[in-house]
């Protein structure tokens, strides 16, 4: 077993939460998904000439599960999603049901991207994706305030440019 050097920071919970507005955005995303699901339910009603009692039971089940999901998931996800950038590394923690905590040394950063979909723009939020020389894939931080996301992109880009290694 390899014991980490005390000079290096361990895999730990990152210090920064995402924006509180992310809860609202994730709630709206969940409600949109629920609406699409219920629209499929209505289409089923029009196409199926079977017993209507089953249709009502399935619709009620989807409605209850969807409402619980729309209420619980965004709040739970907000408590889990964290991030932190240090001069040496970027830390992320994400998920709600399946949770993932990752760390990437700045020396491994290859690209840093900022993304704002329509809902994120509506809530003044952004996502930052940090692509590294890792088979585990990029690190993604969702639900950041736009100003914080831009600052993070600038800091990570400057750190990656200053790094003398080849990020491989």
Q: How many helices (H) and strands (E) does the chain have?
A: 4, 7
Average pLDDT taken over every residue of the chain: 86
pLDDT band, residue 53 (cuts 50/70/90): confident
Report, in angstroms and rounded to the nearest whole number, the Rg of the chain calculated over CA atoms. 21
- What is residue 11's predicted lDDT score, i.e. its pLDDT? 61
- What is residue 6's predicted lDDT score, i.e. its pLDDT? 46
> Could you tell me the residue ranges of all domains in the chain?
22-77, 83-162
* 50 contact partners, CB below 8 Å, separation of at least 6: none
* 121 contact partners, CB below 8 Å, separation of at least 6: none
Judge whether residue 4 has pLDDT over 90. no
Q: How far apart are CA 2 and CA 5, in angstroms?
A: 9
154: tokens are 């600038």
CATH of 83-162, one of 2.40.50.100, 3.60.70.12, 1.20.120.1200, 2.30.29.30: 2.30.29.30
Q: What percent of the chain has pLDDT over 90?
A: 54
Judge whether residue 122 has pLDDT over 70. yes
* Position with higher pLDDT, 127 vs 13: 127
- pTM for the model: 0.81
* 17 contact partners, CB below 8 Å, separation of at least 6: 78, 81, 82
For 77-102, how does the pLDDT look when each residue is reduced to its tens digit (9 = 90+)? 999 999 999 988 999 999 888 889 99
Judge whether residue 119 has pLDDT over 90. yes
Check: CB of residue 142 under 8 Å from CB of residue 94. yes
């Amino acid at each position: 077993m390899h014991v980490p050097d005390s000079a290096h920071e361990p895999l730990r919970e990152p210090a920064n939460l995402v924006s509180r507005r992310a809860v609202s955005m994730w709630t709206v995303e969940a409600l949109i998904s629920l609406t699409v699901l219920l629209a499929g339910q209505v289409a089923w009603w029009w196409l199926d000439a079977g017993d209507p009692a089953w249709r009502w039971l399935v619709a009620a089940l989807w409605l209850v599960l969807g409402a619980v999901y729309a209420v619980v998931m965004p709040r739970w996800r907000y408590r889990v999603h964290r991030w932190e950038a240090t001069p040496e590394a970027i830390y992320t923690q994400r998920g709600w049901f399946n949770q993932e905590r990752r760390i990437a040394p700045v020396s491994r950063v290859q690209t840093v991207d900022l993304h704002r979909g329509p809902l994120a723009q509506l809530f003044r939020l952004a996502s930052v994706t940090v692509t590294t020389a890792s088979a585990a894939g990029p690190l993604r931080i969702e639900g950041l305030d736009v100003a914080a996301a831009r600052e993070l992109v600038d800091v990570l880009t400057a750190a990656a440019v200053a790094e003398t290694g080849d990020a491989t």
